[in-house]
Amino acid sequence: MNKKEILIRLLKYMLADKRTLAVSCSLLLLASLADVSGPWLIRIFLDDYLANDLFPPQALWGLAAGYIGVTVASGLLHYGYGIRFSRMAVGIVQTIRKRVYSSVLKQPLSAFDFVPIGKLVSRITNDTESLKDMYVTVFATFLKTITLLTVMLGVMLMLSPMLTAVVFLLVPVVIGVMYAYQKRSSPVYRESRDLLSDINAVMSESIQGMSLIQLMAQEENFCRRFEAMTAKRLKAEMRIQRMNGFFLRPLIDLMSGVVLMALVALFGLNGTEVIGVGLLYAFINYLGRVTEPLVELMMRLALLQQAIIAGERLFELMDIKSQQYGDDEQPMQTGTIRFNQVNFSYDDKVQVIKGVDIDVKQGGFLALVGHTGSGKSTLASLMMGFYDVNAGSIELDGRPIGSLSHSSLRQGIAMVQQDPHVMSDTLRENVSLGREVSDASILKALEQAELGDFTRELAKGLDTPLGDGEIGLSAGQKQLLALARVLVEKPKILILDEATANIDSGTEDKVQRVLATLRQDMTVVVIAHRLSTIAEADQILVLHRGEVVERGNHSSLLGQKGRYWQMYELQQASAQLKELEQLAG
């Protein structure tokens, strides 16, 4: 989208609430009429009474009362306009923020494969704040300036067309300056905005990876990298300030000074017979009132540039194609899984999965093993419907995965990841995850996940804050919590992605007992590093560079003495070495 399209799209949000906009503009029009009435009343006093040495008390008291009245009315009307317009503007920003957030949540995971999290967060937060500045400040100032200029020029024409023509020369010159400023400042503001997003992204990722940075003694390197980025942004900001210092007030003040001199020169040439003192006062007053809004509007152009760039980036997020699902709302009845010659690539260049066939019946136990990068987690993501295959087909419950609706797919298949996310919320919310679930069901799920004793020891029970709250969970407790989430609404297919990789043997035994219970109601797919976890699997697939190189159960694969046998022997040797070290210790 070009700048014009972005600006029109932003304006449409403001035009959506026509009633509030109409009331605000009406108040602004009345406020502008009150603004121009004051100098008009003073002109009457100077030209009609003071110049003619006339001082009728009733008329003068009427002028004084009128002047005070229009001044008070102007203040009240401007206040009413500001409050209503600001409320409308903040509401628009909230609407855009919610739509962007909703769009991000509904995007396919492929949209996040190559986007730094810090930059994404910066867009949602900082860019929406820029839009707020545009609506609350820029558009409000623009409406105020245009309305005031229109009213003042109309009044000035009524007073003196000749003097109005002199003042009117200022308007096209200002428009030309504004155009030149916009043309020069746009690329600089874009550069500054992009650099700010990069800085925020680096800060976010550095804080998230603080332990790694300190372990690798890379503090100085990251500091130098951060200093280089901030130095680039400082240069961009200084270029902006130099442009603002040249284009904004100095040029406008110079032009208004020239117009003022022309008005005084006309007064000197024609005298009070043609141009009255009161008329000259009114025009000088109006000129000052016109100049200030123009200067303010010019200064607000900087915010407009930032807002247009922010709007472009936010609309990019809003317009990305959402995750596509099918129309079949029928809940999954079985946990059957079938892959038929599935090929997949993340970037359409390197094939991560090559010709994989899988056939698992209801209640089956499938295990996926292989070295890092062999494609295990990718197969799990394909089962979850996070990505579309490049070739071949996937069927769940005997139906093509692409035909299943969002609700059918998410209720029918669940995944427990290697490092489950724990929200900064209560234990109740961490299990229910926003679902309508009774406390009794949550407690039952925690009991089945072998977290019953842990829950009973908590003083606040289900109301205990987790994450950044009062209680921190171990790696094993996180895995059991993730299983409790699954047990609340039992799916037909459960995928465990390296769920036992970072837990102790005691917690692994608990997970095994929970899995034995779950297998009675669902199909289980386990991606395992510890081969002891999958010894009871009905079918084990050994993956290598995206291909299935061995297939069978634990005993048959050991008998083949291939890759699986090698992995098993290495793990057994490693376990024996640990036992010897413990004995020696």
Question: Comparing 106-110, 263-267, 279-283, 530-534, which segment has the lowest mean pLDDT?
Answer: 263-267
- pLDDT, tens digit, for every residue of 79-104? 988 888 888 888 888 888 888 888 88
Instruction: Give 456 or 4, the one with higher predicted confidence.
Output: 456
pLDDT of 480 higher than 50: yes
- pLDDT, tens digit, for every residue of 137-158? 788 878 887 888 788 778 777 7
Average pLDDT over residues 319-334: 84
Instruction: Give 490 or 359, the one with higher predicted confidence.
Output: 359
Phi (first) and psi of residue 54, to 5 degrees: -115, 130
First to last CA, the chain: 68
Average pLDDT over residues 356-365: 91
CA–CA separation, 334 and 362 (whole Å): 6
* Confidence (pTM): 0.63
Average pLDDT over residues 528-553: 88
Sign of CA dihedral 222, 224, 230, 233: negative
- Confidence bin at 125 (pLDDT 50/70/90): confident
The pLDDT value recorded for residue 349 is: 83
Residue with tokens 């990305």: 320
505: tokens are: 């043997």
All structural domains of the chain: 3-195+238-319 (1.20.1560.10), 337-422+473-584 (3.40.50.300)
The pLDDT value recorded for residue 548 is: 93
pLDDT of 171 higher than 70: no
Average pLDDT over residues 14-33: 87
- Confidence bin at 419 (pLDDT 50/70/90): confident
Distance of CA 193 to the CA centre of its chain: 15
Helix (H, G, I), strand (E, B) or coil at 526: strand
Instruction: Give 495 or 108, the one with higher predicted confidence.
Output: 495
CA–CA separation, 450 and 459 (whole Å): 18
CA–CA separation, 527 and 541 (whole Å): 10
Residues with Cβ within 8 Å of 578's Cβ and at least 6 positions away in sequence, in order, are none
Average pLDDT over residues 325-329: 87
Sign of CA dihedral 498, 499, 503, 506: negative
Average pLDDT over residues 314-334: 83
Question: Comparing 334-343, 419-428, 465-474, which segment has the lowest mean pLDDT?
Answer: 465-474
CA–CA separation, 78 and 65 (whole Å): 20
Residues with Cβ within 8 Å of 126's Cβ and at least 6 positions away in sequence, in order, are 196, 197, 200, 310
- pLDDT, tens digit, for every residue of 178-217? 677 767 776 777 777 778 777 877 777 777 677 777 777 7
| Residue 296 β-bridge partners | none
Average pLDDT over residues 28-37: 86
Distance of CA 48 to the CA centre of its chain: 62
CA–CA separation, 178 and 170 (whole Å): 12
The pLDDT value recorded for residue 507 is: 66
pLDDT of 177 higher than 50: yes
Average pLDDT over residues 543-555: 92
CA–CA separation, 534 and 413 (whole Å): 20
Residues in the chain: 585
The pLDDT value recorded for residue 271 is: 47
Contact of 69 with 100, CB cutoff 8 Å: no
pLDDT of 260 higher than 70: no
The pLDDT value recorded for residue 273 is: 43
pLDDT of 159 higher than 60: yes
Give the pairing type, strands 365-370 and 523-527: parallel
Radius of gyration of the chain (CA): 36
Contact of 291 with 252, CB cutoff 8 Å: yes
For residue 338, the tally of other CB atoms under 10 A from its CB is 18
- pLDDT, tens digit, for every residue of 372-382? 888 888 898 89
Per cent of the chain over pLDDT 90 is 11
The pLDDT value recorded for residue 312 is: 82
Per cent of the chain over pLDDT 70 is 82
pLDDT of 262 higher than 60: yes
Contact of 484 with 430, CB cutoff 8 Å: no
- pLDDT, tens digit, for every residue of 223-250? 888 888 888 888 888 887 777 666 665 6
The whole-chain average pLDDT of the chain stands at 80
Q: Which amino acid is at 348?
A: D
310: tokens are: 């922010």
- Confidence bin at 270 (pLDDT 50/70/90): low
Which DSSP letter does residue 523 get?
E
Which DSSP letter does residue 248 get?
T
Residues with Cβ within 8 Å of 421's Cβ and at least 6 positions away in sequence, in order, are none
Pick the closest to residue 463 from 496, 425, 499, 492 (CA basis): 425
pLDDT of 274 higher than 60: no
Instruction: Give 483 or 359, the one with higher predicted confidence.
Output: 359
CA–CA separation, 245 and 242 (whole Å): 5
